[in-house]
Amino acid sequence: MSYQFDDLKKSCPTEWRDYIEHSFVQQLGDATLATEAFQHYLKQDYLFLIQFARAFALAAYKSPTLADLKQAKEGLEAIVDTELDLHISYCNEWGISEAELAELPEARATLAYTRYVLDTGNRGDLLDLHVALSPCMVGYGEIANWLNSRSTTIRGDSNPYDAWIAMYESDDFQEAMQAEVQWLNERLAEVSPARFEQLSRVFRDATRLEIDFWNMGLNLSE
Ligand SMILES: Cc1ncc(C[n+]2csc(CCO)c2C)c(N)n1
């Protein structure tokens, strides 16, 4: 038996669909999402990105090869040098200042998801960590593609969330997503059924935590 990334999704089809096709995502595509829900999500996503930068630093520490070390360093650099600045500017456009971001408490859903990823990486090896990161790395690209496949999704100036969709449908992001899937496919091809079971659990749990992150946005939960 040779596994690939698709088998992780097939091991929890309900959870994966609930994440990709979440009401938050549907409302964002239909331009019906409450502004407060999106703002709450953006604020928590800032804190999420900081913890994800730490996860890439952990990936560097857990890297057995120079190629893996470089890949982790590039992921860390992308978040710290580029994505956080972009996120801060985007938050500004939505009326959220950098001072406000700096003072934010982490919501339970942010704590649970990010610390789960860090703990999985600490306990396991680089493959465990990548599997824990993969719903984030792959899911957002799939979400953009799913939104574009729906007839009710509104694109352009009449959807205030258009820029969000544009970011994840971009060639840069879609290529990073494909590179992650390829990295995982190469490693998953060699794991035993018992190891695949372990990895499926990590994938399903991280996917459930992504669902909770959307719920947190919709419910404004802290
Ligand atoms: C809850 C949540 N899940 C996934 C992403 C997407 N994302 C965050 S960091 C990263 C990799 C580095 O570019 C990606 C794809 C998000 N923003 N928020």
In this structure, the residue with its CA closest to atom 9 of ligand 1 is 49
Q: Coil, strand or helix: which one is 65?
A: coil
Residue 137: enclosing H or E segment and its boundaries? helix 126-149
Q: Which CATH number does the domain housing residue 215 bear? A: 1.20.910.10
Per the structure block, which two tokens stand in for 182? Answer: 């390829």
Please count the structural domains in the chain: 1
Distance 122 CA to ligand 1 centre (A): 20
Distance 137 CA to ligand 1 centre (A): 6
Note if 93 is an active site residue: no
Note if 210 is an active site residue: yes
In this structure, the residue with its CA closest to atom 7 of ligand 1 is 136
Q: ipTM above 0.90?
A: yes
Residues 6 or more apart from 67 whose CB is under 8 A from it? none
In this structure, the residue with its CA closest to atom 4 of ligand 1 is 136
Ligand 1 atom nearest the C-alpha of 140 is 6
- The residue range of the domain holding 134 is 5-219
Distance 11 CA to ligand 1 centre (A): 22
pLDDT tens-digit profile, the chain (222 residues) = 799 999 999 999 999 999 999 999 999 999 999 999 999 999 999 999 999 999 999 999 999 999 999 999 999 999 999 999 999 999 999 999 999 999 999 999 999 999 999 999 999 999 999 999 999 999 999 999 999 999 999 999 999 999 999 999 999 999 999 999 999 999 999 999 999 999 999 999 999 999 999 999 999 999
> What is the per-residue pLDDT across 36-45, written as a single tens digit (0 to 9) for each?
999 999 999 9
Could you tell me the pTM of the whole model?
0.96
Task: Give Cα separations from 123 to 67, 126, 205 (angstroms).
Answer: 22, 10, 15
